[in-house]
Amino acid sequence: MVLNADAISQQSLPKHVAIIMDGNGRWAQARKRPRAYGHKKGVDSVRSAVQFCSKLGIESLTLFAFSSENWRRPEDEVSTLMELFLFVLSKEVKKLHKNNVKLNIIGDISKFPTSLQDKVHDAHALTGQNTGLQLNVAANYGGRWDIVNAAQTLAEKVKTGELDVADITEDALTNKMSMAEQSPLDLLIRTGGDYRISNFLLWQAAYAELYFTETLWPDFNEEAFSEAIACYISRERRFGCTGEQIQQLLAESNTTS
């Protein structure tokens, strides 16, 4: 099933989708190829996901490219991931810019090679004024790191007298998190068959819908993405309210629109 953008109410679509892109290594091993081959094939799925979100008018797409725990992987695989990341930034950013995509790298990039950090800064500078899809790539990112980083930022303001302890609220923390200026996360997808979020967007995912699929990331095409969006649309998001309250709010909205 492939969604038709014209047949769907824009209000029913998620504004912000995040994906844990899992299964590259297993996809390659099943084909008796090195794990690096799976990571390279996964880039094709990234292109497809970006095009799909742009076509549907989704505001933000956040991809988990490299977690803070991925440094524990074999050295040759980490090296391949760094080289692939550098290659993608070198070759794909101009295409993203041409299609009005704004690229944001979220996470602690200070541990990356200087050449890679320079490419990140160049990509931000080139696409920073674009008004289309916001593509967030989480690199050396962890949800706990994000929360701690936000808490430390507020703690420094308390230390200097800019804030009182009572000013450290949920909203204050949210405003110091990654992607604070973007729409809240609506849908979190994980490919590859595992049922966990692996320290990804812990704070942002508090009220997100979760969708897990057995599909390995290199096979996650437009049809698979469509199925995830269709599942999201079919759910009733209550945010602590009852279903009846939500239906009443929807009815009132339809009456006034």
Residue 70 annotated among the catalytic residues of the structure: yes
**Identified catalytic residue from 6, 24, 44, 70:** 70
Q: Are 72 and 142 in contact (CB under 8 A)?
A: no
Active site residue 186: no
Annotate the chain with DSSP letters as a single string: ----GGGS-GGGS-SEEEEE---HHHHHHHTT--HHHHHHHHHHHHHHHHHHHHHHT-SEEEEEEEETTGGGS-HHHHHHHHHHHHHHHHHHHHHHHHTTPEEEEES-GGGS-HHHHHHHHHHHHHHTT--S-EEEEEEEE-HHHHHHHHHHHHHHHHHTTSS-GGG--HHHHHTTSTTTTSPPP-EEEE-SS----TTSSTTTTTT-EEEE-S--GGG--HHHHHHHHHHHHHS---TTS-HHHHHHHHHHHHHH-
Catalytic residue among 4, 22, 122, 136: 22
8 Å CB contact between 88 and 43: yes
Positions annotated as catalytic residues are 22, 70
